[in-house]
Each structure stands twice: as C-alpha cells, then as structure tokens.
Chain A
Amino acid sequence: MGDKRPRSFYILALFFTAYVLFLYGPMIAIYILSFQGPDGGLTFPMNGVSLTWFGKVFSGGGIVDIGAAFKRSLALGLVVMVITVVLSVAAGMAFRKPFRGASILFYTAIASLIMPSIITSLGIALEFRLVDDFVNKHAADYGLGWLADGYTTAMGLFTSGLGAHLTWTLPFGLLIMFAIFNRFDGRLEEAARDLGATPWQTFRHVVLPIILPSVVGIGLFGFTLSWDELARSSQAIGSVNTLPLELQGLTTTVTKPDIYALGTLTSAVSFVVIFAALSVILVLQARQRRQGSDAGKGMV
C-alpha cells in the first residue's frame, strides 16, 4: 500500500461525508426552523426570524407543562448518571477477580442491553402493578393498614422509572469498564501494594486517576441515555412524564414550530453535556500525558 491514496479512498470519503450529512442534516434543519417568524410554519421557507416559539415553550403556550418535565428529566438523568458510574466502576473492579456469578452478571447485562425495550418496560409495569394490587388488598392483613391509606401506586420517576433507565445504562457502563481494564497494566497496582498501599489507597491514588477519563465517559453515557430514553420509560414511569415522552406525545398534535423549539432546547442540553464531558476528558488526558503516564488513554 503506497502513499498515494487509492481511488477507493475518494469514493469512500464521499460516502462517509454523505453519511455525516444524512446524520446531521435533518437535525440542523429543525434547529434553524425553530427560529421561524411568528407566522412561520412547520417547513421551509423561513418566514422571518424570531424567538417567538422559544417564548411559547417557556410560557407554556397552551401545551403541557414543559418546564416540569424538563426538571424531572434533568433530575432523573443526574441520578441515573451517578448510580451508573458508581455501580459500573464497582462491578468493573469485581470482574478483575474471579467470583462466582461473574458470567451470570455478564450475560444478564448483555441480555438487558439487547432485550426489546417494550418487554423490559412491560415487565417493570407488571411488577409494580402486582405490588400495588398486593398492598391495596393485603396490607391491612399484616397490620400495615396505614400503608394502604391513600396509597395509589409504587410506580414513579425514582422507583420504576429509575430502574427502567438503569437496565439500559448499566450495560454500557459495564462494557466500557471491560474495555478499560482490558488494557490496564495490573503491575501498577502490584507496585502500589508492594509499597504498602491499602486496597482503598491503591484504588484512590493509582487506579482511579488512570481510569478517570473513561469514568467521565461512563457518566456521559449515563446522563445522555437517560435524558433521551423513551421506549423503556413508556410503560414504567407512572403518572408523570419525562421530556422525551412529552415530546413524543406532541408529535401527533402540534402543528406549529414550538415543537422544534422544544427539540432545539432539548438538544442544547445534550450538546452542553457532551462538550463538557469531552472537554473534561481532554483535560484529564493532557494532565496524564504531562505527568508521564500513558495508561488508560483515549477511551470514550
């Protein structure tokens, strides 16, 4: 293979460019259209430029309470992110030692990843429904009458909703941990141990700093996957809706560009999180390079 680019390079470069345009083109179209003038419609051409539709979103504008959905999704995303990071790092550490059940956990995570979302969602909905039925019918029998008083459902954002999101984010977290430890130099830990570090000190001062950029990556996956999650939440979220669910509901009823404005705002949050996470990763990697370690590089 010489230095001159073969013809196939140019053909595939063109193909790749077309793919990237295909990926971003439609999204960019709605970002532009969300700035439609007050008389603008759902399609081009632009009928003036204004912030009318953003104003509509913020003032509620007759559509559902978007502000509340926004806050709910944000809170849930942050909780999912923290739990995903902590549980993934912990489980990733566990897989470095032999333990009974290792392969069960591994295959469960893979199954959870590829399970059609509607089935997981239905299962969680059934689980909570059965709990509800049980509490309503039998709580009094066990002297737990106070529980049944005014009880409606155990389903909610931070019970069934949180669980549904975790079945989606944890497999990603675990797979990223595997990727990290596949190229982790175990001698660094041995060296720390030989120098008298306790297991916690070894983790805190040796392992964690090396894997930190990738751990930020896990956080990025945890938040964004939760922030956009729809299929698994659909049946398992209870009476309140997350932002993607509200958006999906709006697709059938809204005929004005406010849905684009909402889409632009939602994407803006995603982009802020993505770029914040990527910058942190870059800074951490630069610091590692300066301090001479080349372990744990380049994994997002």
Chain B
Amino acid sequence: MAVTIDTSPDTAAPAESTFRKLTMRSIAWLQAGPMMLVFALFFLLPLVLVVVVSVWDYNEYEMIPALSFRGYTDTFEGCVANLPELCTILKTYLKTLKLCLLTWGLTLMIGFWVAYFLAFHVRSKTWQIVLSLLCTIPFWTSNVIRMIAWIPLLGRNGLVNQGLIGVGVINKPVEWLLFSEFSVVLALVHLFTFFMVVPIFNSMIRIDKRLIEAAYDAGASGWQTLVNIIIPLAKPGIVIGSIFVITIVMGDFVTIGVMGGQQIASAGKIIEARLSALQFPAAAANAVILLGITVLIISALTRIVDVRKEL
C-alpha cells in the first residue's frame, strides 16, 4: 500500500495555484487532524510518559517525580550477584523468547501454506473470497472465548484425554495438555496465525503468474519454483507477518495468563504484576526494556527486507 499522492499537473495561473495548494493543504490538515490528535493523546504522549516515569522514584503507594533508576535496578536485582545463576528477569525473558520462537515458527509454517493454497490453488475469485472470510471470521470474535474453548478439549477429563484413554495409548489422563507451555503455544498459534496469513497472501497474490509458468516451461520442479520464485517474492509478507506475531507474543500477558493457569511468567506479565502492585516506575522500566527488545527484533527483521517499499 502506497501513500498515494495526487500529482496531477496544475494548469491554473501561478497565484491562484499557490492559493489552491494552500487551501488543499489546510483541508488535508482538517481531515487528518482528528486522527493525529487521537494518536497524540492516547499513543504518543503515553509512550513519552512511560519513558519519563521509568526513571522516577517510587514508594509503596505512589510515584515520586525525582530522577532515580530504581525501576531498572529493582528489575535487574541479583542479576550480577547471583551469577552464573540466571536472575528472574533474564529467566522470564528467555521463557518469553522461547514461547515467541515456537509460536513464530508454527504460525509461519501454517500461515505460509494456508496463504499458498488460497493464492495459487483456489482459482475462482468467489471461492477465494469465501475461504478468506472463513479464515477471517474467528479474528472478529473474542480472543478470551477462543482461549476458553480449549478447556473442554484439553482439560483433565477433556476430549483429547478421553480419546487417548479410549484408544489405549495412555491409561490415566495427561496433565500437561492444559495450563502449560503447550497450551499457551497452541492458543497463541490458534489466535494469531491469521496475522501471518493475511500479509503472506497479499504478497503472493501480487506475484505475476507468468513467472511461475515461465519457471515451469524452463523445466523447474515444483520445489525449485517454490524456493527460487515464490518464497523470495513472498518475503515482504513473511516479514510483515513475522513482525505482527513477534510483537504480539512478546507483549502478551492475557493468553499466557489464561492458558498458563496464571503460573507462567512472561515479559508482559511482569509489567502487569508491577502495575497491580502500583509500582508505576518499575512497570514503566519494564515496558521500556520490552520496547527496546521489540524494536531490536523488528529492525533486525526489516534489515532482511525493506518493508517500507511494500506498505
């Protein structure tokens, strides 16, 4: 998607043209202003405040506007002293990264092939729309409900355990199906594969079909076409999808909370816990750390492909 800019030649007299340009510009400002204002008030200013408050002092019940790095030092408490043992914060981030990598790998594999099927195998436009909608509708329904929905399947007496016992694979219910890292990753994949499918499909649908025919005519096998033509051309979609999934999972605390039975720590949950203890500067310091890591990952990904050209 490009930021379309109207460049129609202006044939009016210079003075009038300048006037028109001015009014056009002020109209554009009036049109875009309200949205900019909402973002300024509820996104940009809050972000600035997070950074500012992260270096404030605090006590048990309020924040104190005085320069202090307590939010950070408290967060990294014991990280140097207890070496080589890993401190809580590092352990938590490693766990979050692990969940993130697992989810990323799975959503990428599933998302890629779903998008591939929709883009290259579904030939009628109507079917393409119908099947895309089928994938989109769950995205418009509640995430919490889609998490709760796993309980009757994965629970102690759930369908999976009943089935496995019925077949005779196991003789007592498996406990790790629900409220475990397994169920967290499963739910994350279930919820967020959509964010992978859409951008990859968008890249694939723009691939000129004649390129694939040319490869076929030149004797390329299906695998060679996939590796040498389709994957490189779908790369922008893959990167955009990856950015979505990684940023969502890195900051997630709801899915990890509900599906982990509130027992699994994550980067997002630290912030939530600090907040409920009213330690605002500590929460803000953790948010800044999370933000820094997320930005690092995104900039590494955008090195691979210039996303700006693709938007």
Question: Which A residues have a C-beta under 8 Å from some C-beta of B?
Answer: 1, 5-6, 8-9, 12-13, 15-16, 19-20, 22-27, 29-30, 33, 41-44, 83, 86-88, 90-91, 93-106, 108-112, 114-120, 122-127, 129-130, 133, 160, 163-164, 166-167, 170, 174-175, 178-179, 181-182, 186, 190, 199, 220-221, 224-225, 227-228, 230-231, 234-235, 244, 247-248, 251-252, 259-260, 263, 266-267, 270-271, 273-274, 278, 298, 300
Which of the residues B46, B50, B114 comes within 8 Å of A16, measured between beta carbons? B114
> Could you tell me if A127 and B29 are in contact, using CB atoms closer than 8 angstroms?
no
- CB pair A252–B43 under 8 Å, yes or no, is no
A221 to B194, CA, bound (A): 15
Q: Which of A5, A16, A20, A118 contacts B272 (CB 8 A)?
A: A118
B277 close to A (CB within 8 Å):
no
Partner of A122, one of B29, B114, B287: B287
A112 to B44, CA, bound (A): 9
A26 contacts B32, C-beta separation under 8 Å: no
Q: Please tell me if B5 contacts chain A, counting CB pairs below 8 Å.
A: yes
With contact pairs A12-B117, A114-B247 given, residues A99 and B32 touching in the complex (Cβ less than 8 Å): yes
Q: Could you tell me if A234 and B272 are in contact, using CB atoms closer than 8 angstroms?
A: yes
Can you spell out 14 A-B residue pairs with CB atoms less than 8 angstroms apart? A26-B149, A90-B35, A91-B34, A93-B31, A99-B25, A99-B28, A115-B251, A120-B46, A122-B50, A123-B49, A127-B46, A170-B38, A247-B145, A251-B144
- Contacts known (A120-B46, A127-B45); A271 close to B141, Cβ less than 8 A: yes
State the CA gap A20–B244 with chains docked (Å). 21
CB distance from B72 to the nearest CB of A (A): 16
B residues with a Cβ closer than 8 A to A are 1-6, 8, 24-25, 27-29, 31-32, 34-36, 38-39, 41-47, 49-50, 53, 62-63, 110, 113-114, 116-118, 121, 125, 129, 131, 133-138, 140-153, 155, 157-159, 162, 190, 193, 212-213, 216, 222, 243-244, 247-248, 250-254, 257-258, 262, 268, 271-272, 275, 280, 283-284, 287, 290-291, 294, 298, 311
A94 B28 Cβ-Cβ under 8 A: yes
User: What separation, in Å, do the CA atoms of A105 and B36 have in the docked complex?
Assistant: 6
Contact of A94 among B29, B129, B222 (CB under 8 A): B29
Task: Find out whether the CB atom of A23 lies under 8 angstroms from the CB atom of B36.
Answer: no
Task: Identify which of B251, B283, B311 contacts A117 (C-beta below 8 A).
Answer: B251
Q: Are A118 and B271 in contact (CB under 8 A)?
A: yes
Q: Find chain B residues with CB under 8 A from A174 CB.
A: 35
Q: Which residues of A have CB within 8 Å of B6?
A: 96-98, 186
Q: A94–B31 contact, CB under 8 A?
A: yes
Q: Tell me, in angstroms, the Cα distance from A263 to B143 when the chains sit together.
A: 10
Contacts of A15 in B (CB 8 A): 113-114, 117
Q: How far is the CB of B296 from chain A (nearest CB, A)?
A: 13
* Complex CA distance for A26 and B45, rounded to whole angstroms: 40
A128 closest partner in B (C-beta): B46
Contact A230 B254 (CB under 8 A): yes
**Interface residues of chain B: helix, strand, loop or mixed (majority):** helix
**Which residues does chain B contribute within 8 Å of A106, judged by CB atoms?**
3
The listed residue (A90, A124, A270) touching B31 by CB distance below 8 A is A90
- Closest-by-CB residue of B relative to A262 is B145
Residue of A nearest to B47 (CB): A123
Contact residues in A for B138 (Cβ distance below 8 Å): 23-24, 27
Give chain B residues whose Cβ lies under 8 Å from the Cβ of A13: 117, 121
- Determine which residue in A8, A20, A116 has the highest number of CB atoms from chain B within 10 A of its CB, and name it: A116
Cα–Cα distance between A164 and B39 once the two chains are bound (Å): 10
Query: Which of B25, B50, B150 meets A97, CB within 8 Å?
Result: B25
Given contacts A247-B142, A270-B140, 18 further A-B contacts (CB under 8 A): A16-B118, A29-B152, A42-B151, A43-B152, A90-B31, A94-B32, A96-B5, A97-B25, A99-B28, A105-B32, A114-B298, A115-B247, A123-B43, A123-B47, A123-B287, A125-B275, A127-B46, A167-B43
The complex places the Cα of A127 from the Cα of B48 at a distance, in Å, of 10
Contacts of A300 on B, CB cut-off 8 Å?
Answer: 133, 136
CA distance A120 to B131 in the complex (A): 33
Determine the chain A residues whose CB is within 8 A of the CB of B144 once the complex forms: 228, 230, 244, 247-248, 251, 263
Of all A-B residue pairs in the complex, the 7 with the closest CB atoms, nearest first, are A116-B251, A123-B46, A163-B42, A26-B149, A99-B28, A94-B31, A94-B32
